[in-house]
Chains A and B, each alone.
Chain A
Amino acid sequence: MADGDEAALAALYDGWAGRVHTLALWILKDPDDAEDVVEETFWQAWRTASRYDGQRASGSTWLMMIARSRALDRLRARRRWADWSGDPANTHEVAEGRSAAEIPDARSEAVERQDAVALAMQGLPPEQREALELAFFAGLSHSEISSRLAQPLGTVKTRIRLAMQKLRQGLDSLREGGS
């Protein structure tokens, strides 16, 4: 793809456009913005493919983290605009209520890694899951989450760290089961 092979870009798009769009729409709650993020994500992936190192990250991790960054850039820009204009309608925040892990059949692809993380996600205490989702899907910093949840900063840091450790243990279990 790094050598300008447009067929590779099309293949990448075919395989992952749905997933990238899902994440962008979940973060931004706006179809127009999500569409733009899909385009920017694949464009960035195509332009920076030469920096991708398959030994250090799976292709899906690489691509989804690009998509998340692009979507969060837009979300943060909206927040800045809302702060400046005083228009809260411009900040579409993370959906409240049901979390991704609570939605049945949340995944259309049966990937073992996803299953392991999903299982671990369902086992998280609600307060840990809430803090983690605000960090990942809203890109909020520890202090912003602390303000949002009216919890001490140290508590928020601990919740996020514990949540990530438990999800990682889910991955470890998968690896041990597979070895």
Chain B
Amino acid sequence: MSPVPSHEELHEMLPAAALEILEPTQMELVAAHRRECAECDALLRDYREVAASLALQLPLQQLDPARDRAVRARLAARAGSLRGPGTRAPGRPSGYDRWIGWAVAAGLAGILMVHHSVHRSVNYGWLVAGVLMLVLLGVGLYARTQQRRASELRKEVEREKSR
């Protein structure tokens, strides 16, 4: 094989890439190629669906009730221990965290604007405040995107459960 594999060579690696049994360097080559080749990207996704379907062929074996309870309890404890900024406690209104976050961000930006206006030249203060506002806006948009993705996942899970 040549140092830089051709499209055909990478194409042949896709089934093994989906099974994640290639050497790390080969996996990196495939990963780089799929970013540039829509055909191979789509094919690799197909192969991953095939690979996951292999797991679903197995005879179903549920956790026994005691183990099931133990896992649920441990997951709940771990999830509970992480509750804090960026997570939402059950029962709290879904918009609360988002709006309180924006309010805090706006307040911080305002304080910084005033601070810089007083202690430095006015133009410099506005520049810093403007950059900060842009950063905060970006963070807010990113958070909204993440929420939308999570919502998609939930719908997907519900859809698959209902099949």
Contacts and interface: CB of A to CB of B under 8 A. Distances in A.
Say if A and B assemble together: yes
Interface string A67-110: 11100000000000000000000000000000011010111111
A2 B49 contact: no
B50 A3 contact: no
Interface in A3-47: 3-13, 15-19, 21-23, 25-26, 31, 34-35, 38-39, 42-43, 46
Nearest to A54: B152
B123 interface: no
A103 B51 contact: no
A169 to B, nearest CB: 10
Contacts of A65: 48, 51-52
Contact of B48 (A25, A34, A57, A135): A57
B146 A50 contact: yes
Contacts of B53: 113-114, 117-118, 167, 171
A59 interface: yes
The A interface is mostly helix, strand or loop, or mixed, namely helix
Interface residues of A, number: 82
A2 B52 contact: no
Interface in B64-95: 64, 67-68, 70-72, 74-76, 78-80, 82-83, 86-90
Contacts of A59: 153, 156-157, 159-160
A68 B55 contact: yes
B28 interface: no
A148 interface: no
B146 A142 contact: no
Interface of B: 12, 15-16, 18-23, 45-64, 67-68, 70-72, 74-76, 78-80, 82-83, 86-90, 97, 146-147, 149-150, 152-161, 163
Given A160-B21, A164-B51, 8 more contacts: A4-B82, A4-B83, A22-B60, A59-B159, A101-B57, A103-B58, A117-B54, A142-B16
Interface of A: 1-13, 15-19, 21-23, 25-26, 31, 34-35, 38-39, 42-43, 46, 49-54, 56-62, 64-65, 67-69, 100-101, 103, 105-111, 113-114, 117-118, 121, 132-133, 135-137, 139-142, 157, 160-161, 163-165, 167-168, 171
